[in-house]
Amino acid sequence: MAGIHETDKIDLIADHPEDNRLCLFMVETREWSESQEMYLELQEKLSTYLTYIDCGKLYEDYPGFVGKGIRFMLCYFYPLNDIATSTISRMETILFERNIELVLKEGDPSIFLDKEGLVKSDC
């Protein structure tokens, strides 16, 4: 799995059939730092995801998902600090304007998937 530091890659995509949404995961395995570099990477990662959707590549790669809603899931391994919270709040505003939900989950994203690779119903 790529991770936020690989800003040009999509970390993980999974179907959430219970609510007819496609989940695009962003994964941060590092501890949240005070360095602005980490948050610039998060913003670049968000831009990569939005471009992937806007240019039609998402539905070109996954034609069966056309018409489904989209949810971004940010999974992180360490508690958020103030800078992370502020950055994520700005991301939520951008995504809200595009009708994309942002869900925050602490932990490895694999714990949110069932054995078929679908997002568990409690996510």
Q: How far, in Å, CA of 92 to CA of 34, rounded?
A: 21
Q: What is the 3-state secondary structure (H, E, C) of the chain?
A: CCCCCCCCCCCEEEEEHHHCEEEEEEEECCCCCCCHHHHHHHHHHHHHHHHHHHCCHHHHHCHHHCCCEEEEEEEECCCCCHHHHHHHHHHHHHHHHCCCEEEEEECCHHHHECCCCCECCCC
Amino acid (one-letter) located at 110: S
Q: Which two tokens stand for residue 21?
A: 């949404």
CB 9 within 8 A of CB 52: no
pLDDT per position as a tens digit, 58-94: 999 989 889 888 999 999 989 999 999 999 999 999 9
Count the Cβ atoms, other than its own, within 10 Å of residue 64.
9
Is the Cα torsion angle 78, 80, 83, 89 positive or negative in sign? Answer: positive
Domains of the chain (ranges, CATH numbers): 12-112 (3.30.750)
Give the tens place of pLDDT for each residue, 11-65: 888 887 778 888 899 999 899 999 999 999 999 999 999 999 999 999 999 898 8
